[in-house]
A and B are shown apart, each in its own frame.
Chain A
Amino acid sequence: MSSPLSVPYREREESVTLERLEAPLAGTEVEADAELLTINIGPHHPATHGVLRLLCTLEGEVVRDVVPLIGYVHTGIEKSCEDQQYWKAITFVERMDYLAYYFNAYAFCAAVERLLDEEVPPRAQYLRVIHMELNRIASHLFWLGTAALDLGAISMLWWSLRDRDMILDLFEMSGGQRLHTRYFQVGGVIEDIPPGFERKTRDFTANMRTRIGQYEALLDENQIFVERLHEVGIVPHERLKDLGVSGPLLRATGDSWDLRKAMPYCSYEHFDFRIPVGTVGDHYDRYRVRIAEMRESMRIVEQALDGLPEGPFITDNRKVALPPRHELATSMEALIYHFKLVTEGFRVPPGEVYEAIESPRGELGCFVVADGSSKPARVHMRDPSFINLQSLHDMAQDDLIADLIASIAMLDPILGGIDR
């Protein structure tokens, strides 16, 4: 087998195969004389949730084949991370799945902590849980708004973004930024929550309970919305597992696989919450599972605020975490550690780990290889959107093109995470 790159450019052009277009329908019940139309949806299309290009083969209004083409927002984040010190790479990984930035940062930090054998103080773990669960609600709210928008329920977008903004206010309070807060550090979090954060978070969760009830009433009693979702896009459970699908899409079929329960991390075992599951795995179940997950996330946030332990919010290992600012004026050692950390970063002993957590879209895995220097030799994110996208074909085939749009909405792909 010769390398495709040793072939001259013009000849390589001929290797672009049109096989799929000429005989796209092996295995479907399409008559040979059916009039087929191949169109592109995207890359720039409001219903694709980013720059996703779908090569669709249509027979009338029925989708006979759909091939997702990706790479339009590939920015080489994984490569860039290899040129950054560990604590600077956090900034990069946060930008992969841009709606679930706390999860990206956690997966990376936890992987590095495992390589360092670094203990995270309990208060930091609880603060991480609070922020991750708030982030999960924010991500699901954004999904709810855009998914309903795709189905024609435009007002949902404004309602859900209003509530998401309240979460972003909380993030601004604790981390100083609304998006990509870089709040999680290796060994803990950058700062303790400020006074007033707890009250504001409790106000939010109390408010949000009734708001979710209102949204459900708005959507569940809308016959158009329900009929657009009911018994559409069903993929059998076994097939989803073969395709590697995880998260709400898998749970909608009745599988209660959730890494927060199955393999608890970050002291999730301390909290009492349930895993919402669906029954048949259609779009309606996917919608219900995500709505129910928001409720459970609020319960976790409240429990974490109730039980928030006292103590340090970041490890006191000065080789990993920056010393407190006030020490710099009086302590020579603190100044040296600060200087070493900021200029060189910390070194991580050689090794490799795969750390998997439950992001709003499924299993988010971070694979980090350390070579003993202060920069990672490899950072890879197993992004749930990227894997879940493979199930779009099964969801959308032989359904109407309008249902394809609903399938994309219920798949909840984040192109920043898919392309990285």
Chain B
Amino acid sequence: MIDPTGLELVARAVRGAVGDGSVRDTVHAHGAATLDVPPEDVHEVLGFLHSDADEPFDFLSSLHGCDYFPAEPRLAVHYQLLSTERRERLGVRTRVTVEAAESGVVPTVTDLFPTADFQEKEVFDFFGVRFAGHEDLRRLHMPEDYEGHPQRRDFPIGGEPVLYTFNEQRVPRWYE
């Protein structure tokens, strides 16, 4: 478990290795430590934490997206790092605007952690974050020709057109 002091030490090590602006903020809440990182530095920060840090993190246990609507920047990608050696977790979070996410500011980390492959596809599918450098970024859960990114907060529930409407005339809006 990383305590608040430990988190500051990790942040200092990251700043020293990657650059002063590489850690925007540190958050320690509910027993979990999180680094807030600008999107362009994600790859370098994770690369440092994965292999070069004094206390490395060998396992990426989860990568997921989040939409903080109406706060700006809206979208976020979370990386949950885990050290099986020291039994510590560290969250790395990067916030991006919708436009930046769609233009490919967030780099892929599949070269560092192959496990990110499916999860980056999932985040692209649901939030529209285009991971720059991902070899095969495509929709995973939704159909290939689906329009929109359904996990965004402004995507309405029930916004899905109904495909099979053969008895629509007889029973209007039968599907509700």
Q: Given A365-B80, A367-B78, A390-B118, A244 and B89 touching (CB < 8 A)? A: no
Indicate if A279 sits at the interface (CB-CB under 8 A). Answer: no
Indicate if A209 sits at the interface (CB-CB under 8 A). Answer: no
Q: Given A5-B147, A263-B87, A356 and B32 touching (CB < 8 A)? A: no
Chain A residues with Cβ under 8 A from B68's Cβ? Answer: 369, 377
Chain B residues with Cβ under 8 A from A245's Cβ? Answer: 115
Q: Given A257-B84, A387-B118, A1 and B103 touching (CB < 8 A)? A: yes
Q: B30 touching A115 by the CB < 8 A rule?
A: yes
Q: Given A3-B102, A114-B31, A244 and B60 touching (CB < 8 A)? A: yes
B115 to chain A, nearest CB (A): 3
Q: A367 touching B62 by the CB < 8 A rule?
A: yes
Comparing B12-20, B39-47, B138-146, the segment that makes contact with chain A is B138-146
A375 to chain B, nearest CB (A): 11
**Which of B64, B115, B142, B157 has its CB near the most chain A CB atoms (within 10 A)?**
B115
Q: B141 touching A83 by the CB < 8 A rule?
A: no
Q: A243 touching B148 by the CB < 8 A rule?
A: no
Q: Given A262-B84, A367-B62, A12 and B145 touching (CB < 8 A)? A: yes
Chain B residues with Cβ under 8 A from A273's Cβ? Answer: none
Interface residues of A in 351-407 (CB under 8 A from B): 351-354, 356, 363, 365, 367, 369, 377-378, 380, 382, 386-387, 389-390
**Which of A70, A380, A389 has its CB near the most chain B CB atoms (within 10 A)?**
A380
Secondary structure class of chain B's binding surface, majority of residues? loop
Name the contact of B150 in the complex, choosing from A76, A83, A115, A255 (C-beta under 8 A).
A76
**Which of B66, B84, B141 has its CB near the most chain A CB atoms (within 10 A)?**
B141
Q: A353 touching B140 by the CB < 8 A rule?
A: no
Indicate if A16 sits at the interface (CB-CB under 8 A). Answer: yes
B46 to chain A, nearest CB (A): 13
Give Cα A12–Cα B146 distance, bound, in whole angstroms: 11
Chain A residues with Cβ under 8 A from B115's Cβ? Answer: 242-245, 387, 390
Q: A351 touching B30 by the CB < 8 A rule?
A: yes
Q: A382 touching B61 by the CB < 8 A rule?
A: yes
Give Cα A95–Cα B81 distance, bound, in whole angstroms: 27
Interface residues of B in 129-159 (CB under 8 A from A): 130, 132, 139-145, 147-148, 150-151, 153, 155, 157
Q: B145 touching A9 by the CB < 8 A rule?
A: yes
Chain B residues with Cβ under 8 A from A293's Cβ? Answer: none
Q: A241 touching B58 by the CB < 8 A rule?
A: yes
Name the contact of A380 in the complex, choosing from B64, B89, B102, B128 (C-beta under 8 A).
B64
Size bin of chain B's contact surface? 35 or more
Chain B residues with Cβ under 8 A from A117's Cβ? Answer: 30
Give Cα A262–Cα B86 distance, bound, in whole angstroms: 9
Q: Given A71-B143, A262-B84, A365 and B62 touching (CB < 8 A)? A: yes
Flag B47-64 by CB within 8 Å of A: 1 or 0 each. Answer: 000000000001111101
Chain A residues with Cβ under 8 A from B32's Cβ? Answer: 353-354
Q: B142 touching A80 by the CB < 8 A rule?
A: no
Indicate if A74 sits at the interface (CB-CB under 8 A). Answer: yes
Chain A residues with Cβ under 8 A from B157's Cβ? Answer: 79-80, 82-83
Q: B114 touching A390 by the CB < 8 A rule?
A: yes
Give Cα A377–Cα B74 distance, bound, in whole angstroms: 13
Q: A378 touching B66 by the CB < 8 A rule?
A: yes
**Which of A13, A76, A244 has its CB near the most chain B CB atoms (within 10 A)?**
A244
Closest to B78 in A: A367
Give Cα A378–Cα B66 distance, bound, in whole angstroms: 7
A396 to chain B, nearest CB (A): 16
Closest to A20 in B: B136
Indicate if A419 sits at the interface (CB-CB under 8 A). Answer: yes
Give Cα A80–Cα B155 distance, bound, in whole angstroms: 12
A69 to chain B, nearest CB (A): 9
Chain B residues with Cβ under 8 A from A356's Cβ? Answer: 61-62, 80, 89
Closest to B155 in A: A79
Interface residues of A in 112-138 (CB under 8 A from B): 114-115, 117
Indicate if A192 sits at the interface (CB-CB under 8 A). Answer: no
Give Cα A356–Cα B117 distance, bound, in whole angstroms: 20
Q: A1 touching B118 by the CB < 8 A rule?
A: no
Closest to A111 in B: B30
B81 to chain A, nearest CB (A): 11
Q: A363 touching B87 by the CB < 8 A rule?
A: no
Indicate if A302 sits at the interface (CB-CB under 8 A). Answer: no
Indicate if A169 sits at the interface (CB-CB under 8 A). Answer: no
Chain B residues with Cβ under 8 A from A363's Cβ? Answer: 61
Closest to A367 in B: B64
Indicate if B104 sits at the interface (CB-CB under 8 A). Answer: yes
Provide 14 A-B residue pairs closer than 8 Å at the C-beta atoms, listed in order of the A residue.
A3-B128, A71-B143, A117-B30, A241-B84, A243-B115, A244-B60, A244-B114, A262-B84, A354-B78, A365-B62, A367-B80, A369-B68, A378-B66, A382-B80
Instruction: Give me the 3 closest cross-chain CB pairs, A-B, nearest first.
Output: A244-B115, A382-B62, A74-B141
B interface with A by C-beta (< 8 Å): 29-32, 58-62, 64-68, 78, 80, 84, 87, 89, 91, 102-104, 113-115, 117-119, 126, 128, 130, 132, 139-145, 147-148, 150-151, 153, 155, 157
